[in-house]
Amino acid sequence: MFVVISLGGSLIMQEQPDIKYIKELAQIIRKSPHKFGIVTGGGRIARTFAQAARGLGASEFEADEIAIDSTRQNARLMTIALKGVACPHVFTDFEKAYEAAQHYKVVVMGGTIPGITTDTDAALLAEKVGAKRILNLSNIDGVYTANPRKDKNAKKFKKMKYQELLDLAGKSDSRKAGTHFVFDFVACKMIGRSGIETHFINGRNITDLKAAIDGKPHSGTIVRG
Ligand code: UTP
């Protein structure tokens, strides 16, 4: 079974790279019987650089380009943590990642082209390698009716259909470099058209993480159907 992980940048790095968490995640991946595609997000660093680039007169395309660099730097950390089981190359191309996936347990990518986010990269990689499951790991423990950090009445979905996630994502997707949204609108379309089951969990909840990798019940949100 091939599992694709969309790894939120906030889990890889806060003020500093979170070496303890990266090691823990790498250990779980090493021990799992599954194969993995990991797509790393850019997190706060990507937002900081995109904002700085705009301050210097960058176009949105250029802001995306600099944010992509941050995602790739995070991807590099993962290839190092997974030395021996992951292909050491940080892929920028789905075809090449697919080829490497035939020989390695793990392939790692960052961003690819401006205009999308690593959620879409993860969905495209999942389509390319034929993965039936995506894990969206972030520091939020599921998909909510509204941003749970801002709205005390926000409720978590246990299960959702693709169309429900698409409707929710459509409300919050401003398509600007380094802006947060629950899941990239385009990625919602991709998982829906290919019927890829997508699990949203807090990546630091190790019990949920292990359960989601195996497609078992957890306290996050499952999107299918
Ligand atoms: P992320 O996927 O990390 O976006 O890409 P995010 O929504 O901020 O996710 P978290 O916070 O890591 O969970 C960061 C930025 O990199 C650019 C976009 O500007 C995106 O907002 N990017 C990423 C691209 O332009 N193309 C890509 O393929 C990937």
Report pLDDT digits (tens) over 111-156. 999 999 999 999 999 999 999 999 999 999 999 998 888 888 999 9
Does residue 172 have a pLDDT over 80? no
pLDDT bucket at 174, cuts 50 / 70 / 90: low
Ligand 1 atom 14: residue of nearest CA: 42
Does residue 178 have a pLDDT over 70? no
32 vs 150, more confident:
32
Write out pLDDT tens, residues 182-206.
889 999 999 999 999 999 999 999 9
Q: Which token pair is 23?
A: 């090691």
Buried b (16+ CB within 10 A) or exposed e, 32-48: beebbbbbbbbbebbbe
Q: Which token pair is 201?
A: 């969990």
Q: What residues are in contact with ligand 1 under a 6 Å CB criterion?
A: 8-10, 41-43, 46, 50, 64, 67-68, 71, 111-119, 121, 138, 177-178, 180
Asked whether the beta carbons of 97 and 103 are under 8 A apart, the reply is: no
Among candidates 155, 151, 158, which has minimal Cα distance to 201? Answer: 158
Mean pLDDT of 105-109: 98
Q: How far is CA 73 from CA 15, 16, 47, 68, 79, in A?
A: 15, 13, 14, 9, 10
CA 111–ligand 1 middle distance (angstroms): 7
Q: Which token pair is 166?
A: 């698409």
Write out pLDDT tens, residues 52-101.
999 999 999 999 999 999 999 999 999 999 999 999 999 999 999 999 99
CA 131–ligand 1 middle distance (angstroms): 21
C-alpha to C-alpha distance for 52 and 66, rounded to whole angstroms: 10
Domains in the chain: boundaries: 2-223
Mean pLDDT of 6-25: 96
Burial label for 95, CB within 10 Å (0-12, 13-18, 19+), is exposed
Mean pLDDT of 154-176: 86
- Atom index in ligand 1 nearest the CA of residue 121 equals 28
CA dihedral 136, 123, 191, 64 (to 10 degrees): 90
Alpha helices in the chain (DSSP H): 9-12, 19-31, 43-55, 60-81, 94-101, 118-129, 162-172, 185-194, 206-213
CATH topology of domain 2-223: Carbamate kinase (3.40.1160)
pLDDT bucket at 175, cuts 50 / 70 / 90: low
Point out which residues pair with 202 in neighbouring strands.
138
Does residue 176 have a pLDDT over 90? no
> Mean pLDDT over all residues of the chain?
95
| Length of the chain as a residue count | 225
- Ligand 1 pocket test, candidate residues 113, 118, 135, 185, most atoms within 8 A of CB: 118
CA 144–ligand 1 middle distance (angstroms): 20
Among candidates 88, 64, 86, 102, which has minimal Cα distance to 5? Answer: 86
Question: How far from chain centre, in Å, is Cα 70?
Answer: 14
